[in-house]
């Protein structure tokens, strides 16, 4: 995913269950910084962000080797590829999003992007400012808005969003029901403006780089690692209104996600999760020191049963 021209994240669908119990801070030990997916006992799916110090299940290495799934974008791209259709449906009803989308917000974001792009494209630095003169800036047509929620006039608009943009990710998320609301990772500013002018895009909002809170919109439970020590438990940062389930996925993706399975946990009941308690994990420099979900320190990882070792 690229860098946003600008980001607007102002509390979209903030239905979170924050874990507020304080954990002690420990010296930082490593930086693996990866995203991974897991399954719970009810067949629900969660996205985990290890940030600087979170333990990562060994099974994630197999998933990465098989399909390079390490983000929401790659997750949906894999679904789109499996079904040979870029349109991916999620259970979240479009009616739950409509009130947060306005024409004014989207038009303001378009105008700001165009103005900023114009300033950048019109800027040239000479040697007197210590800058090289041969920089080639992108044209305005190449500028994009990121993490877009769009209210469309009808489904006939969806193919037009991708027209002439071969570099787009190969999926568009369609929320359930009417009116038509879709999510795109990114789209050219001028394409959006043209469709707005034709009355095909009625309202919208650019959320910025897709992560929290937008992953909950798609049905994922969201956990991240927020301690400065390594490795402490993950905290739940978001709960979906309509969870995505294993049975919703293509068969091969069901197999992949099932490799990381918390068969004795329910994400809906767990505000914190320490994966080391449940399966063999990788940590920075294979450190054996860790903090359990109750805040207790351990010098060795626990023994694992055969099905917990990948």
Residues 141 and 202 in one domain: yes
**Residue pLDDT tens, the chain, 310 long:** 333 333 333 333 322 222 223 333 333 334 457 899 999 999 999 999 988 788 999 998 888 878 888 888 889 999 998 888 899 999 999 999 999 999 999 999 998 888 876 665 554 444 444 343 343 445 556 678 888 999 999 999 999 998 766 555 679 999 999 999 999 988 888 899 999 999 999 999 998 764 445 789 899 999 998 776 668 999 999 999 999 999 999 999 999 999 999 999 999 999 999 999 999 998 877 778 899 999 999 999 998 765 555 5
Residue finishing a domain among 154, 185, 206: 206
- Determine the pLDDT at residue 127: 42
Nearest to 188 by CA among 209, 206, 169, 165: 165
Residue 164 and residue 198 in one domain: yes
Coil, strand or helix: which one is 136? coil
183 and 117 together in one domain: yes
The answer to whether residue 247 sits within a structural domain is yes
Name the residue among 100, 104, 33, 105 with its Cα closest to residue 71: 33
pTM check: above 0.75: yes
Q: Cα separation of 200 and 156, whole Å?
A: 9
3-state secondary structure of 255: helix
Which residue, of 153, 184, 206, is where some domain finishes? 206
Write down the residue that tokens 């006039």 correspond to.
Answer: 153
Domain count of the chain? 2
For residue 14, tell me if it sits in a domain.
Answer: no
pLDDT of amino acid 253: 92
For residue 122, tell me if it sits in a domain. Answer: yes
Collect all residues with Cβ–Cβ distance below 8 Å to 226 and sequence separation of at least 6. Answer: 51, 235
Please report whether residue 4 resides in a domain. no
Check whether residue 224 and residue 199 sit in a common domain. Answer: no
Helix (H, G, I), strand (E, B) or coil at 221: strand
Strands ordered across the beta sheet of 144-152:
87-93, 172-176, 180-188, 144-152, 201-206
- Predicted confidence at residue 37, as pLDDT, reads 95
Do 231 and 252 fall into the same domain?
A: yes
- Report the C-alpha gap between 292 and 150 in whole angstroms: 42
Q: Are residues 255 and 149 in the same domain?
A: no
CA distance 142 to 165: 9
Residues 190 and 226 in one domain: no
Among candidate residues 163, 180, 206, the one where a domain is terminated: 206
62 with 155, same domain?
no
Give the structural domain span for 246: 35-72+218-308
Is the domain of 258 the same as that of 291? yes
Same domain, 108 and 146: yes
- What's the pLDDT score for residue 307? 53
118, part of any domain: yes
Are 197 and 239 within one domain?
A: no
Confirm whether 170 is domain-assigned.
yes
Alpha carbons 37 and 249: distance in angstroms, whole number: 13
Q: Does 84 map to a domain? A: no
Q: Is 2 domain-assigned? A: no
Residues 197 and 108 in one domain: yes
Q: In terms of residues, how long is the chain? A: 310
């Amino acid at each position: 995913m690229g860098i946003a021209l600008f980001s607007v994240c102002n509390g979209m669908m903030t239905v979170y269950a924050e874990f507020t119990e304080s954990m002690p801070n420990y010296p930082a030990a490593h930086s693996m910084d990866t995203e991974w997916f897991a399954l719970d006992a009810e067949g629900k799916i969660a996205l985990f962000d290890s940030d600087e110090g979170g333990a990562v299940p060994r099974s994630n290495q197999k998933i990465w080797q098989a399909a390079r799934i390490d983000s929401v974008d790659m997750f949906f791209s894999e679904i789109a590829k499996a079904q040979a259709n870029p349109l991916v449906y999620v259970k979240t009803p479009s009616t739950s999003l409509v009130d947060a989308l306005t024409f004014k917000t989207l038009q303001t974001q378009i105008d700001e992007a165009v103005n900023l792009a114009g300033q950048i494209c019109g800027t040239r630095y000479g040697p007197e400012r210590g800058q090289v003169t041969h920089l080639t800036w992108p044209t305005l047509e190449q500028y994009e808005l990121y993490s877009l929620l769009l209210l469309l006039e009808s489904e006939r608009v969806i193919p037009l969003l991708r027209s002439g943009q071969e570099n787009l990710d190969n999926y568009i998320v369609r929320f359930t029901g009417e009116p038509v609301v879709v999510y795109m990772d990114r789209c050219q500013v001028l394409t959006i403006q043209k469709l707005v002018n034709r009355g095909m895009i009625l309202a919208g909002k650019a959320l910025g780089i897709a992560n929290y809170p937008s992953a909950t919109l798609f049905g994922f439970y969201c956990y991240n690692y927020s301690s400065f020590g390594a490795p402490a438990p993950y905290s739940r940062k978001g709960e979906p209104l309509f969870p995505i389930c294993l049975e919703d996925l293509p068969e091969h993706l069901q197999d992949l996600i099932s490799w990381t399975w918390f068969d004795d946990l329910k994400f809906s009941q767990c505000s914190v999760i320490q994966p080391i308690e449940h399966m063999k994990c990788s940590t920075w420099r294979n450190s054996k020191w860790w903090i359990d979900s109750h805040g207790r320190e351990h010098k060795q990882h626990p023994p694992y049963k055969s099905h917990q070792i990948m």
